[in-house]
Amino acid sequence: MASLLKVDSLTGVTTAGSISVTGEGNSTTTNLQQGLLKAWVRIDGDASPASIDDSFNCAAITDNGTGDYNVSRTNNMSSAATYYVIEGQYINSGHTGGAWWDGTTTTATVQYKVFDSSAADRDPVGYAVIGDLA
């Protein structure tokens, strides 16, 4: 018989911010909080100005010009040394792109640029942030 658990929050018993989950092989555990994305964004770069289609923990976008966007997060990361940005985009016509961020601050705005042989607007583009929230 299946069970259904409905709760508004989960808190670890030993450490409030740490919940262990048994892994797929039933022999190891992983930390629930460490395994979650801390922010992600999907950008419509074809819109004028560029806009956020959907996001988590992202507050606003600034369209800096063709293929160049800044997205600010809602919540800070705990340490500049403990987070990483993963970028992605729809592959079409051989364009490439990348996400840049100031790795010395926890409140960095991520800058995202898209290129063919020169800067280009694309839809969709985006990135995800992994690491520790403040």
- Top mean pLDDT of 10-19, 54-63, 111-120 is at 54-63
The span from the CA of 113 to the CA of 63, in Å, is 11
Residue type, 106: T
Mean confidence (pLDDT) of the chain:
83
pLDDT digits (tens, 9 = 90+) for 20-34: 888 888 888 888 888
The answer on pLDDT for 17 being more than 90 is no
pLDDT given for residue 33 in this prediction: 82
- Look at residue 10 and tell me whether its pLDDT is greater than 60: yes
Q: Report pTM.
A: 0.78
Q: What is the DSSP string of 58-73?
A: EEEEEEEETTEEEEEE
Mean pLDDT of 65-70: 88
Asked if residue 129 lies in contact with residue 73, where contact means CB atoms within 8 angstroms, the answer is yes
Find the distance separating the first CA and the last CA of the chain, reported in whole Å: 40
| Domain boundary assignment for the chain | 37-131
